[in-house]
Amino acid sequence: MTSGPLQGLRVIEMVGIGPCPFAAMMLADMGADVMRIDRKQDPSAPNPYPTLGTKYDVMARGRRSLALDLKSPRARQLLLDLVGKADALVEGFRPGVMERLGLGPEVCHDRNPKLVYGRVTGWGQAGPLAQAAGHDLNYVALSGMLHAMGDADRPPAPPLNLVGDFGGGGMMLAFGVVCAMLEARASGRGQVVDAAMTDGAALLGAMTCGLRAHGTWSAARGANLLDGGAPFYATYACADGRFIAVGAIEPQFYARLLALAGSSDPAFARQWDRDDWPALKEKFAALFATRTRDAWRALLEGTDACFAPVLDMDEAPHHPHNAARKTFVDVDGVTQPAPAPRFSRTPGQARPVAAAPGEDGAAVLADWGWSEDAIARLRRDNIV
C-alpha cells in the first residue's frame, strides 16, 4: 500500500539516466503512481549501466515498468492512451527526440489538455547549445558555480554529479512538475516544464551570486568564507588519516571550538583577518593532526563547536544520528537514502525496484483501466 502526499496522482516516466529517474523517484517516494516506460531490448545486448533493471538501481525504486517498442505505431498509440489518463509525463531526452517519436507536448496535450509535460536536459529546450551533448560537469561549468569549487592551486573540483544532475536537474524537475500540477487543478490546463541543469545549477548559487555582487565574495577559488578559504570552515586530516569538518562561523561557536580543542594560541583570536587565514589554516591543520578522528568526535560531537566527522558512504548509515532518524533504509537488502523531506501526516515510502524492465506491464495497465481482454490482445500482438 502506497502512502505520501502525492497519492492518487499518475505520472508517466520515459526511462533514461540521471536527473529524470531521480525526479521520478522523488515523486514515487511521495506516493505518486509512476509508470516507467522502458525500451523493449534484447536481454543479450551489452549493458553499459550494470545496475539498471536490478535491485541496485536505487533511483528506480517505487515504480512499475511497462516495456514498449516506441518505433511501433501501435506502441505509440498505447502510450498516448496512457497519456490520456495521466497527470504528468517526465522525460530527459535531447530536445526533439519525443517530437520525432510523435509524442511531443502538442500531441500529448491534444490527447490530455491537463497534462503536465516535464522535460529535463542539460542546456535546456532552446538556446545555442540546446542540441549539444554534455554531462553534469559541463552544465555546472557553464553556470559559473564550478569555478568556485576546489583548492586555489588546483583545477576546479567536480562535485560528483550532485549539483547538475540531481540538485540542478532532477529536483528542479520534480519541483516544477508539482507546481504545474497544482496550477492545472485550478486552470484545467497543463503546460511544459523546461528544467535545464545549467539554469538549476545557477539557481543553487543564488546566495553566492548575491555575495559576489556585494563585493564580499572573491572570484579567486579557495579564498572565501564557504569554499575552504576560511580556516574555521574547512576539512582537516586527523592523526589516523581520516577527516573532520568544522564550520564554526559565528564568534560564539568559534570560541567554543577553540575552548574544547584546548588551544590558547593568541593568533586564533584574529578570526576575521583574511590576511591571516592561510596561517591559521596551517595552525588548525597541525592541531587536528594531533588526535584521531574518533578522539575528536568524543571531544566535539554534539557541542556548539559546529563539528562533524567526515564519514564515507559505508559509515554514514551507522552513525547514531542517521540511525535514529532512519536517514537510510534497507530495501531488498540494499542500503539507500530514505525519502525526504519528512511529512507528519502523509509520510513518503521507499518501495522496491521493479526486478526487470517491462515485468509489471499487465498489472499496471489493469490498474490504469485496461481490461483483461485488451491486455491479452496487446500481449498476443507483442506490443507489451
Q: Which residues contact 178 (CB under 8 A, 6 or more apart)?
A: 6, 27
Within 8 A by CB and 6+ apart from 240, the residues are 292, 293, 294
Whether 165 sits among the annotated catalytic residues: the reply is yes
User: What secondary structure, in 3-state letters, does 34-82 show?
Assistant: EEEEEECCCCCCCCCCCCCCCCCCHHHECCEEEEECCCCHHHHHHHHHH
Q: Report the alpha-carbon angle 262-265-269, nearest 5.
A: 105
Asked if residue 62 lies in contact with residue 340, where contact means CB atoms within 8 angstroms, the answer is: no
Q: What is the 3-state secondary structure (H, E, C) of 265-294?
A: CHHHHCCCCHHHHHHHHHHHHHHHCCCCHH
Query: Which residues fall within 8 angstroms of residue 265, CB to CB, at 6 or more apart?
Result: 283
For 345, the grid coordinates are 501526516
Distance from C-alpha of 375 to C-alpha of 370, rounded to nearest angstrom = 7
C-beta of residue 13 within 8 angstroms of C-beta of residue 37: yes
Q: How many Å from the N-terminal Cα to the C-terminal Cα in the chain?
A: 25
Is residue 294 flagged as an active site residue?
no
> In the sheet where 243-247 sits, what is the strand order?
233-237, 243-247, 307-309
Cell of 221: 577559488
DSSP-derived pairing of the beta strands 33-39 and 10-14: parallel
Nearest to 19 by CA among 210, 194, 233: 194
Residue whose C-alpha cell is 496550477: 183
List C-alpha distances in Å: 203 to 132, 166, 198, 210, 236: 22, 13, 9, 11, 29
Residue of 29, 165, 199, 227 marked active site: 165
* CA-derived radius of gyration, the chain: 25
Catalytic center residues: 135, 165
